Amino acid sequence: MRKLTIGSTCNVLNGYSFKSNQYVDEGIRIIRIANVQKGYVEDNSPVFYPLDSEGLDNYMLKEDDLLISLTGNVGRVALLSGDMLPAALNQRVACLRLKDNSIHKRFLFHYLNSTSFENKCILESKGIAQKNMSTEWLKKQELPILNYNTQIKVSEILDNIIEIINIKKRQLQEYDQLIKSRFVEMFGSFDLTKLSDISEIIMGQSPDSSYYNTNGVGLPFFQGKTDFGEKFTEVSSWTTKPTKIAKKGNVLMSVRAPVGPVNISSVDCCIGRGLCSINAIPEKTNNEFLYNALIAIQDQITAMGSGSTFKAINKSDIYSIRLPLAPISLQNQFALFVQQIDKLKFGVLKLLRELR
C-alpha cells in the first residue's frame, strides 16, 4: 500500500505563546491544550484575546482546522467548528492543514484519532513528568492512503459510529438525570440529616510510596484517579504497608480533583488522599442508598470544592453533607429503582465498549 507522511500532505502550524494577563472577556478565542480532547474541542472555560491584537495572522484558525495536542495528553486530535471563530492557536497545540487532495480530511481525522495512533504519540514523546511531542516527529509519520472514494466511504462509516456513540452517551446522561429526578420525587419532603450522623467517614491517607507495587502484592490501593463511571472492579496498584483502610462495600468519594464522584469498593482496600470512605450505620441507612443519594446530589457536592490549583473538599464539609432521613423501606425502594436503571446503563456501556 502506498504511503505518504503527515508533513507531505499537511502544513503543520505551531501556536503562539499568548499571555494570560492579556485575556479579556470577549474577542479572539484562544485554543489551548486543555481544549483539545479526544475527538472534540472542549470549550467550558473559554479565554479570549482583544480583537485588535496585532501580529496574530500566522496563528489564526479556520473552520474545520485539524488540531493535535503536543504536551501533556499528547496525540489528542479534534476539528474546530465554525461557531468557535474567531480563534487563535496557543503554543503546544499544532494545526494540520491539507496541502492538496491527496487525502480526505475526515479520513485523516479518524486515522489520527485512533487509539493506536494516540498510543504511538505517547510512546514516542519525551519527558517523564509531562510528555512533549515534536512537530518534526509528527511530520515524519506515515499515513496509509486508500483510493479517495474509499476514504470517503470509510469516513462516513466512522462518522455514523461516532454519532451512535454520542447518542448513547446522551442516553446515559438521561438515565442519570432520571435517577436524580426520582430521588427528589421520593425524598424531597423529608427532613435532612448530616452525613456524619448516619455513617462512619474515614479520610484517606496515602501510604509510603516505597511500598507501592503493581504486581498484586499487599492490599489494593485506590488513589482517587480511577474512572468513576462504573463500580470498582479492577485494581492497578497495591501497597504492602496500608494506612487508612476501607472495607468491601464501602462508598468511596473523590474529595480532590475532582470533587464529588462516588464509587463502591469491591474489595477491602487502602485509600489515598484523594478519597474518603463512607460506611452506613445499619439501623439508619445502607451503603447502596448512600451511594445513589450522593450521586443524586453530586452537583451540590462538586460546588463545595475550593482551591486555586485544584478543587478539594475538606473533612468538615464532607461531614456536613445533608441527606434525607427517610425510612429504610423507602430507601430500599429507591435502591431497587436504581438497580433497574443500572441494568439499562450496563447495556449501553457494553455497546459503547464494542463500538470503541
Instruction: Please list the pLDDT of the chain residue by residue as tens digits (356 residues).
Output: 456 899 999 999 999 999 989 999 999 999 999 899 999 998 888 999 999 888 899 999 999 999 999 998 899 999 999 999 999 999 999 999 999 888 999 999 999 999 899 999 998 888 776 889 999 999 999 998 788 899 999 999 999 998 898 899 899 889 988 988 999 899 989 999 999 999 999 999 988 888 888 888 999 888 775 545 455 556 778 889 888 899 999 999 999 878 998 988 888 989 988 899 999 999 899 998 999 899 889 889 999 998 877 789 999 999 999 999 899 899 989 988 988 998 898 888 888 877 76
Q: What is the DSSP letter of 248?
A: T
List beta partners, residue 31: 89
List beta partners, residue 167: none
> What's the rounded Cα separation, in Å, for the pair 257 and 225?
9
Q: What 3-state DSSP class applies to 277?
A: strand
Q: What 3-state DSSP class applies to 197?
A: helix
The residues, any chain, with a CB within 8 Å of residue 309's CB and separated by 6 or more, are none
> What's the rounded Cα separation, in Å, for the pair 69 and 112?
11
Select 3-145's CATH number: 3.90.1150.10, 2.60.40.10, 3.40.50.10310, 3.90.220.20: 3.90.220.20
Would strands 212-213 and 238-239 be described as parallel, antiparallel, or unpaired? antiparallel
The residues, any chain, with a CB within 8 Å of residue 67's CB and separated by 6 or more, are 31, 36, 41, 61, 77, 78, 79, 80, 89, 93, 94, 95, 96
Select 191-325's CATH number: 3.40.50.720, 3.40.50.2020, 3.90.220.20, 3.40.50.300: 3.90.220.20
